[in-house]
Amino acid sequence: MSMNTPSNLTLPARKALARKHTLEMWQKKWDESSNGRWTQRLIPNIEKWISRPHGEVNFHLTQMLTGHGCFRSYLKRFNHEELDVEHVLFHCPRFDLDRNHIRSVFGEHPTPENMVVHMIESVEKWEAVNNAVTHILTQLRRDEQRRNGRHITTPR
**pLDDT tens for each residue of 54-65:** 999 999 999 999
Cα–Cα separations (whole angstroms), residue 111 to 53, 118, 152? 22, 10, 30
Residue 48 lies in a domain: yes
Residue 156 lies in a domain: no
How far apart are the C-alpha atoms of 49 and 28, rounded to whole Å?
15
Residues 6+ away with beta carbon under 8 Å from 109 = 99, 103
Structural domain harbouring 1:
1-32
Other residues' Cβ atoms within 10 Å of the Cβ of residue 95: 20
How far apart are the C-alpha atoms of 32 and 35, rounded to whole Å?
9
Residues 6+ away with beta carbon under 8 Å from 119 = 52, 55, 125, 126, 129
pLDDT of 138 above 80: yes
Pair (43, 10) in one structural domain? no
Pair (67, 103) in one structural domain? yes
Pair (80, 136) in one structural domain? yes
- Report pLDDT digits (tens) over 86-99: 888 998 898 999 99
Domains held by the chain: number: 2
Pair (24, 81) in one structural domain? no
Check: CB of residue 1 under 8 Å from CB of residue 12. Answer: no
Residue 64 lies in a domain: yes
Average pLDDT, the chain: 86
Pair (10, 54) in one structural domain? no
